[in-house]
């Protein structure tokens, strides 16, 4: 403990003396690595060819269970070995499903549910839903994209990207903090991008996509593979006018109340809003490898339509988000240990740009919401001690700085004013993990370990641990049993902790039984789970101060998920999954349920359907040049509200019930040769919009209806 504190004090002193110099040195080192990489490539001998990637659906059950993943333990292991409930979505599936963004992928995963809420998609799984998806951790090639200041993935889940650049997506359902730290309560989504080898013989790929509502997207990939190095560059662009849908202001029994003036500023009214509307948005992503060294980096900027703190007359905002990161890694052997070092820089900024005020005029100010800068380093060590014992460990130090000018400020002219400001804030975390795998026999494995996080700014909550353990039994080459325990935590975000420094972390515990089995040609996975979230971070008021955020209540959920995939008639695929979840809340005081975004006045848990069901398939023509992929999604009744109130008395009427509904999607592809592909995607053919609505801060908003998209892909 003394050594850790001494190290921390020295690092703090360095940051306080020369923070800008330190950052510049880090940037120069990364640029130096990049120059070495770029200079070395021209003198390398020649390019190497690589085989095409084998698709998940073409694998036998043995190959599927032995598919290598990295998200569960920060090391390469197979699906059969991993002590987590993990779903893998491959490049081929993304293409056949016509997935536009992450939401189109997740909605086909057992137990996931999502709904459009103003400026973001809200995710839910296994009875949980959270503001800004703060309980889900989103990674790109293992790099954390969530913002510590804004407490969630934010707009990163809506990258200006049609997912053409993605090799596979690894989705952990449930806690993952044992290796990934804060924010991995309800799930971890690791987006694995393509390497140069994944481009195949044709080294440049480009696509153009056109859709309804004046939606235009462009995407490119180019890369090279040499004997000792490779590099790839991705790029994306999107612009869209969005889908016009109805939005209603609050009803008379539910005002947004200004405690300073005593004025209820939201009279009842109905107007339109444009969902999925973008100004010009871009993303550029680079990956390079040379020997033991690798480098990747991203520049991402998007400006998405948002209606925030609006009155009955409406107000037009764009939420502009910028994210940049550089990450370098070095891998080597230290005797019997495998060693990996990483260093990274990360910059995140978001602000509201006011296009139109309440009177229709165009204001000139730009309202900054949050900005944070992070620098960090990590080290991982793994070792195979004996044939039966494998040890995996790591430690990471991250320094994040917000302010003093990087404050949170949301202001609006009378009659409704909400102004919040966070002082200069520094967050310094030391996180580590130690995991041990022990093989009793070749087919029976015991696994366990824990993650630990330390941050002395959190008072009594400075230390947080997240243990995990499991028994994995490969009963036969066609059957695997897993009995797992996992836990996770979410530290309060910067502005939450600033307003209430005594607030504890949310904590999640989960037990799972997983059965993976091959029945004939079909692969079937059945999961039973029980989980509990304690110390939910609740919004109590809009007035600020120490009462704005607080820990309140907990909930429990249990359920079953069944996933099924089978090939038939050679290359055709049929897949289906179903999920049932039952959740209950407890520990809330008599007043908190009225202000909770989780619990309604009767004590019932909100925002999660008990039943979801997906079924779909991919069918190929005899010449393999054409495929068609229909999919249907059924969602049971949902109850949702996302509005904190202060002094107003709420009634059950403000908790919106969405009845059962079904979506029907259809994707058709035609690939006349290896260079060219044409795809048309029909989303929500049933055109459900008015039935699938939800409550937002001050009323209800309809969901987007039918959408049609056309894409051309060219490889050269």
Is residue 532 within a helix (H) or strand (E), and if so which, with residue range?
Answer: strand 522-534
**In this model, does residue 17 exceed pLDDT 50?**
no
Q: How confident is the model at residue 638 (pLDDT cuts 50, 70, 90)?
A: confident
Whole-angstrom distance, CA of residue 227 vs CA of residue 233: 18
Q: Model confidence over 49-86: pLDDT tens digits?
A: 333 334 444 454 445 556 677 888 887 888 878 888 88
Q: pLDDT at position 483, please? A: 97
Q: What homologous superfamily does CATH list for 41-715?
A: TonB-dependent receptor, beta-barrel domain (2.40.170.20)
Helix, strand or coil, per DSSP, at residue 553: coil
pLDDT band at 422 (very low <50, low <70, confident <90, very high): low
In the prediction, which pLDDT does 229 show?
95
Q: Which of 192, 193, 194, 187 is nearest to 109 (CA)?
A: 187
| Beta carbons of 678 and 669 less than 8 angstroms apart | yes
pLDDT of residue 362: 55
Question: Who has greater pLDDT, 160 or 419?
Answer: 160
Q: What per-residue confidence (pLDDT) applies to 216?
A: 93
- Give the helix ranges, DSSP H, for 48-101: 61-65, 91-97
Crossing angle of helices 2-17 and 19-40, in 10° steps, is 90
The CA angle 222-225-231, to the nearest 5 degrees, is 55
Whether residue 114 is predicted with pLDDT greater than 50 in this model: the reply is yes
Q: Which residue has the higher pLDDT, 370 or 203?
A: 203
CA angle 64, 68, 71 (to 5 degrees): 115
Q: Which residues contact 475 (CB under 8 A, 6 or more apart)?
A: 443, 481
Decide: residue 623, CB within 10 A, 0-12 exposed, 13-18 middle, 19+ buried: exposed
- With a cut of 80, say whether residue 3 has pLDDT above it: no
pLDDT at 551: 81
Q: Which of 1-10, 331-340, 384-393, 435-444 bottoms out in mean pLDDT, i.e. has the lowest?
A: 1-10
Residue 327: its pLDDT value, please?
Answer: 96
* Residue 275 scores a pLDDT above 80: no
Is there a contact between 376 and 344 (Cβ–Cβ < 8 Å)? yes
Q: How many CA atoms lie within 13 A of 43 on its CB side?
A: 6
Instruction: Please state, rounded to an integer, the average pLDDT across all residues of the chain.
Output: 76
Token pair listed for 92: 């081929």
**Six token digits for residue 59:** 């694998």
In order of 94, 315, 318, 333, 352, the CA distances from 366 in angstroms are: 37, 14, 10, 50, 6
Q: Band of the pLDDT at 19, cuts 50, 70, 90?
A: very low
pLDDT-derived band of residue 637, with 50, 70 and 90 as boundaries? confident
Q: Which of 570, 576, 665 is nearest to 620 (CA)?
A: 570
Output 78 or 703, whichever has higher pLDDT.
78
> Residue 482 belongs to what H/E stretch?
strand 479-490
Residue 456 gets which letter from DSSP?
G
The predicted pLDDT at position 133 comes to 78
Q: Would the pLDDT of 644 be above 60?
A: no
Residue 417 has pLDDT above 50, yes or no: no
Q: Is the dihedral of CA 327, 452, 586, 543 positive or negative?
A: negative
State the pTM of this model.
Answer: 0.85
Give domain limits for the chain: 41-715
Residue spans of beta strands (DSSP E) within 33-182: 68-69, 77-78, 86-90, 112-117, 120-125, 128-129, 136-140, 143-144, 166-173
- Provide mean pLDDT across the span 284-310: 84
Which runs of E-coded beta strand occur in 535-660?
537-539, 549-551, 554-568, 572-586, 611-620, 626-635, 638-640, 656-658
3-state SS, residue 533: strand
Looking at residue 618, what is its pLDDT?
Answer: 95
Q: In this predicted model, which residue has the larger pLDDT, 161 or 127?
A: 127
pLDDT score of 596: 52
Average pLDDT of span 211-219? 92
pLDDT value of residue 57: 45
Which of these, 531, 521, 397, 386, lies nearest to 454 by C-alpha position?
A: 397
101/683 Cα distance (integer angstroms): 13
- pLDDT higher than threshold 90 for residue 276: no
pLDDT of 307 reads 56
pLDDT greater than 70 at residue 255: no
Q: Specify the pLDDT at position 627.
A: 96
**% residues pLDDT > 70 (the chain):** 67
Burial 36-69 (b: 16+ CB within 10 A, else e): ebeebbeebeeeeeeeebeebbebebeebbeeeb
Residue 480 predicted with pLDDT over 90 = yes
Give the pLDDT confidence of 319-346 residue by residue, as tens digits. 778 889 999 999 999 889 999 999 999 9
Which one-letter DSSP state was computed for residue 85? -
% of the chain with per-residue pLDDT over 90: 36
Q: How far apart are CA 524 and CA 294, in angstroms?
A: 37
Distances (CA, A) of 558 to 18, 111, 154, 469, 605: 51, 12, 28, 19, 13
Which of 261-270, 461-470, 664-673 bottoms out in mean pLDDT, i.e. has the lowest? 261-270
pLDDT digits (tens, 9 = 90+) for 532-589: 988 887 766 544 555 667 787 788 899 999 999 998 887 899 999 999 998 887 776 6
Q: How confident is residue 602, by pLDDT bands cut at 50, 70 and 90?
A: low
At 132-189, the pLDDT tens digits run 777 888 899 999 887 766 555 555 555 656 788 899 999 998 899 999 988 888 889 9
- Quote the pLDDT of residue 525: 94
| pLDDT higher than 70, residue 450 | yes
């Amino acid at each position: 403990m003394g050594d850790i504190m001494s190290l921390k004090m020295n690092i703090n002193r360095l940051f306080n003396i020369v923070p800008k110099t330190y950052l510049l040195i880090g940037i120069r080192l990364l640029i130096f690595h990049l120059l070495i990489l770029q200079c070395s490539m021209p003198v390398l001998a020649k390019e190497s060819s690589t085989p095409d990637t084998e698709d998940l659906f073409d694998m036998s059950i043995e190959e599927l269970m032995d598919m290598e993943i990295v998200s569960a333990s920060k090391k390469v292991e197979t699906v059969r070995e991993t002590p987590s409930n993990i779903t893998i979505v491959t490049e081929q599936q993304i293409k056949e499903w016509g997935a536009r963004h992450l939401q189109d992928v997740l909605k086909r995963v057992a137990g996931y549910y999502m709904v459009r809420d103003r400026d973001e998609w809200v995710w839910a799984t296994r009875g949980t839903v959270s503001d800004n998806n703060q309980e889900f951790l989103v990674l790109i090639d293992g790099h954390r994209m969530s913002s510590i200041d804004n407490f969630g993935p934010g707009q990163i889940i809506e990258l200006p990207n049609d997912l053409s650049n993605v090799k596979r997506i690894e989705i952990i359902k449930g806690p993952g903090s044992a290796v990934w730290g804060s924010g991995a309560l309800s799930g971890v989504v690791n987006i694995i991008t393509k390497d140069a080898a994944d481009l195949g013989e044709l080294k440049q790929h480009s696509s153009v996509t056109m859709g309804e509502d004046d939606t235009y997207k462009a995407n490119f990939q180019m890369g090279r593979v040499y004997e000792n190095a490779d590099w790839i560059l991705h790029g994306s662009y999107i612009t869209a006018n969005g889908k016009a849908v109805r939005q209603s202001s609050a009803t008379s029994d539910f005002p947004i109340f200004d405690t300073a003036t005593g004025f209820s500023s939201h009279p009842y009214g109905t107007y339109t809003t444009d969902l999925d509307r973008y100004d010009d948005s871009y993303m550029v992503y680079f990956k390079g490898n040379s020997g033991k060294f690798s480098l990747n980096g991203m520049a991402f900027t998007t400006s998405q339509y948002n209606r925030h703190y609006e009155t009955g007359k409406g107000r037009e905002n764009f939420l502009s988000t910028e994210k940049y990161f550089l990450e370098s890694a070095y891998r080597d052997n230290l005797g019997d240990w495998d060693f990996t070092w990483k260093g990274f820089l990360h910059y995140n900024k978001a602000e509201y740009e006011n296009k139109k005020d309440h009177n229709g005029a165009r204001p000139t100010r730009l309202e900054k919401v949050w900005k944070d800068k992070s620098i960090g380093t990590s080290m991982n060590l793994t070792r195979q001690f004996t044939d039966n014992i494998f040890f995996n460990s790591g430690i990471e130090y991250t320094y994040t700085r917000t302010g003093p000018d990087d404050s949170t400020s949301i202001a609006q002219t009378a009659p409704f004013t909400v102004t919040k400001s966070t002082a200069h804030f520094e967050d310094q975390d030391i996180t580590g993990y130690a995991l041990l795998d022990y093989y009793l026999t070749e087919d029976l494995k015991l696994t366990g370990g824990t993650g630990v996080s330390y941050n002395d700014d959190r008072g009594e909550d400075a230390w947080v641990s997240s243990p995990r353990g499991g028994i994995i039994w490969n009963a036969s080459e066609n059957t695997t049993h897993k009995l797992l325990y996992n836990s996770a935590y979410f530290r309060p975000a910067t502005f939450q902790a600033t307003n209430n420094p005594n607030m504890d972390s949310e904590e999640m515990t989960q037990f799972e039984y997983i059965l993976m089995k091959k029945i004939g040609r079909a692969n079937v996975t059945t999961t039973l789970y029980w989980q509990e979230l304690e110390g939910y971070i609740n919004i109590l008021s809009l007035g600020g101060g120490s009462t704005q955020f607080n820990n309140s209540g907990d909930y429990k959920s249990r359920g079953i998920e069944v996933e099924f995939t089978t090939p038939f008639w050679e290359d055709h695929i049929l897949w289906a999954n179903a999920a049932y979840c039952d959740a209950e809340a407890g520990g809330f005081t008599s007043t908190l349920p009225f202000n909770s975004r989780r619990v309604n006045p009767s004590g019932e848990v909100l925002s999660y359907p008990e039943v979801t069901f997906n079924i779909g398939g991919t069918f190929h023509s005899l010449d393999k040049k054409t495929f068609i992929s229909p999919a249907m999604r059924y969602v049971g009744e949902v109850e949702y509200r996302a509005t904190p109130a202060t002094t107003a008395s709420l009634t059950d009427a403000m908790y919106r019930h969405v009845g059962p509904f079904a979506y029907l999607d259809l994707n058709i592809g035609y690939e006349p040769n290896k260079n060219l592909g044409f795809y048309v995607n029909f989303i929500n053919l049933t055109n459900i919009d008015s039935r699938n609505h939800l409550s937002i801060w001050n009323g209800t908003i309809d969901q987007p209806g039918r959408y049609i998209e056309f894409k051309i892909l060219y490889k050269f």
